[in-house]
Copies of this chain bind each other. A is one copy, B any other.
Amino acid sequence: MIERVRVAVVGVGNTVSALVQGIALHRATGDLVGVRRPVIDGLGVGDIDFVAAFAISPERIGKDLTEAIFLPPNNFPPLTAELPPSGVTVSRGLTDAAEVDRVAGELAGAEVVLYAAPSGRQETARAYAEAALRAGAAFINITSDGVARDPQWPDRFAAAGLPLLGDDLASQFGTSVVHHALLRLLEERGLTLTSSYQVNLGGTEDFRNLVENGNTKLQSKLNALAVDGSAADRVQVAPFGYLPHLGSHKVAHINIEAQSWGGASVSLDVKLKVHDPSGGAGGSIDLIRLAAGALRQGHGGCLAEAAPLLKSPPGTPV
């Protein structure tokens, strides 16, 4: 029987909630609903144990991880009536570079560190990467902060024989995935794009952050669509809308106007409704197993196999 992966999480937001709950649900039912890859490097979805967790907010610190994930502003709903306590008590997260050693100490025994704090604090992200290095753990950065994109970090992790996966997790099934697939389909079938837009609405804390520093993210959305040349001028991303009553749902409206043979008009309207945190957890579960598999096989640094799961893998601009 394979040894379970020992995972530490940084940040106890909606994505970690979906991850923790989904694993528990899978263990209880054996269900593989919504799972992209049942087994990676011999590791099943249930072969993951949480061994440490870090958060900043005082309400979370000192709670069991399975309790902390339901505290506001988290709003991802309970997936199962019975969630056994994890036995992991949430620790005080790092707020100062001087604490790297303290955190590294608490990471002892962890094989993989999943960095899932709110985006926008690059120094903090890198401090945790440093702590992982010192603790001899693989590091996964699912935020948009630049770590794996900055060549010095992959180099250091490679030298230490530790995997480094990042940056910025692509959702399992989000607006970019659908919009991109449709624009590609259009192109394959020979249609000429006239114009296209997407609007994203959501009710999570992540969305509130997006609305506040939206411009960067809008550009990143356009990058994710990977449209170029004249098409890029024809695709527009409307401002994010934070609508609290959507809870952990994200709703996207996508429109595509095009022309087929003879210039005849083609219209495509899409409404997509997902639970945002589920999409994040659905990708994280694969990254964790890829990282653990590589670590156990002694492969350090970046992993080509992880790139399709990331928005900004190494090689993209910081």
Contacts and interface: CB of A to CB of B under 8 A. Distances in A.
B172 A260 contact: yes
Nearest to A29: B263
Interface in A10-56: 18, 21-22, 25, 31-37
A168 to B, nearest CB: 17
Number of copies of this kind of chain in the complex: 4
A266 B259 contact: no
A285 interface: yes
A272 interface: yes
Given A236-B245, A268-B270, A268-B271, A36 B190 contact: yes
Given A33-B192, A199-B253, A241-B239, A264 B275 contact: yes
Contacts of A79: 262-264
A25 B262 contact: yes
A245 B195 contact: yes
Chain A interface, >50% SS class: mixed
A190 B238 CA distance: 28
Given A190-B35, A201-B197, A243 B251 contact: no
Nearest to A18: B262
A261 B245 contact: no
Nearest to A20: B262
B34 A199 contact: no
